[in-house]
């Protein structure tokens, strides 16, 4: 287990614009990072996770955010490759868990065939990982707010995130996908759905809702004009990071 104390010091206060109102958040909270390995006995599968949590007391129950990384070709460590917003959200008082979905012993993601068919088992496994982590958190951290769970995922992790509320309903409140391209976004009124889209990679047909569906299910889609698909992790520059941080923070507080 690795434990690192992280403290954000902001030189400037940042104003965040939510839908219909302006919010200025001046609070900056110290947080810790723990990495550990869970084990799902029923599937005989190891699940490495990183937990970013405030070290000081937060008023009320902490809301939970669970993050799923993009495809990393089983090289490992991808659950730590989005620190610019996992750390940012922890500094705002959220309990953030990032899951390492790929193991070195896993099969590689198929690059040929119909992605909706050949990649579905990988998304299913990811959804099962998320469920297992939530169940384990309820055992180890029963005081967290399990009525307000937000899932965030990038690319292949976004496909897992999109699948989760369809496979396991009535568990999460919101999902935020970062350029998922294969799994259709859910159309469920009980789940708030948000998606950030890259400037360069189109989604497959049927992944994004129609204008009529966007209005019916109150889905929010935002195009990032200056951010490519591969610039959504820690490869993002300062301007891109600030835009994504702002939007994710806005979605969570919507």
pLDDT digits over 164-215, tens only?
999 999 999 999 999 999 999 999 999 999 999 999 999 999 999 999 999 9
| pLDDT on residue 4 | 42
**CA torsion through residues 158, 159, 165, 171, sign:** negative
Of the chain, the percentage scoring pLDDT greater than 90 comes to 85
- Provide the pairing of β-strand 192-197 with 174-178: parallel
Q: Is the pLDDT of residue 11 over 60?
A: no
| pLDDT on residue 5 | 44
pLDDT interval class at 1 (50, 70, 90): very low
| pLDDT on residue 125 | 98
C-alpha R_g of the chain: 17
Mean pLDDT of the chain: 90
| pLDDT on residue 21 | 33
Dump pLDDT digits (tens) for 210-251.
Answer: 999 999 999 999 999 999 999 999 999 999 999 999 999 999
Q: How far is CA 5 from the centre of its chain?
A: 22
**Residues 237/250, Cβ–Cβ less than 8 Å:** no
**Residues 203/190, Cβ–Cβ less than 8 Å:** no
Burial 97-133 (b: 16+ CB within 10 A, else e): bbbbbbeeeeeeeeeeeebeeebeebbebbbbbbebb
pTM above 0.75, yes or no: yes
| pLDDT on residue 16 | 32
Phi first, then psi, for residue 114 (nearest 5°) are -75, 115
Phi first, then psi, for residue 235 (nearest 5°) are -75, -15
Q: Give dist(CA 45, CA 47) in Å, integer.
A: 6
Two tokens at 214? Answer: 């966007």
| pLDDT on residue 6 | 43
| pLDDT on residue 29 | 87
Per the model's pLDDT, the better-predicted residue between 18 and 194 turns out to be: 194
pLDDT interval class at 10 (50, 70, 90): very low
- Pick from 17-21, 29-33, 100-104 the range whose average pLDDT is largest: 100-104
Q: Give dist(CA 178, CA 198) in Å, integer.
A: 8
pLDDT interval class at 26 (50, 70, 90): very low
Question: What are the chain's domains?
Answer: 2-252 (3.40.50.1820)
Beta-bridge partner residues of 77 = none
């Amino acid at each position: 287990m690795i434990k690192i104390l992280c403290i954000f010091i902001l030189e400037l206060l940042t104003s965040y614009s939510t839908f219909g109102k302006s919010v200025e958040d001046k609070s900056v909270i110290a947080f810790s990072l723990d990495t550990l390995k869970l084990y799902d006995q029923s599937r005989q599968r190891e699940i490495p996770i990183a937990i970013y949590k405030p070290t000081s007391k937060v008023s009320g129950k902490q809301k939970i955010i669970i993050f799923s990384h993009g495809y990393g070709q089983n090289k490992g460590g991808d659950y730590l490759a989005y620190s610019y917003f996992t750390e940012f959200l922890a500094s705002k008082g959220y309990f953030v868990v990032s899951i390492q979905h790929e193991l070195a012993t896993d099969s590689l993601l198929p690059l040929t065939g119909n992605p909706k068919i050949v990649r579905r088992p990988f998304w299913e496994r990811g959804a099962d990982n998320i469920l297992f982590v939530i169940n384990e958190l309820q055992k180890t951290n029963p005081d967290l707010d399990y009525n307000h769970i937000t899932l965030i995922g990038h690319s292949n992790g976004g496909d897992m995130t999109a699948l989760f509320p369809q496979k396991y309903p009535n568990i999460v409140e919101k999902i935020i996908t970062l350029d998922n391209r294969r799994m259709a976004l859910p159309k469920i009124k009980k789940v708030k759905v948000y998606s950030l889209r890259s400037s360069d990679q189109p989604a497959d047909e049927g992944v994004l809702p129609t204008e009529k569906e966007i209005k019916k299910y109150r889905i929010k889609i935002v195009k990032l004009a200056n951010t490519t698909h591969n610039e959504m992790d820690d490869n993002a520059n300062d301007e891109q990071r600030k835009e994504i941080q702002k939007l994710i923070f806005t979605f969570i507080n919507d």
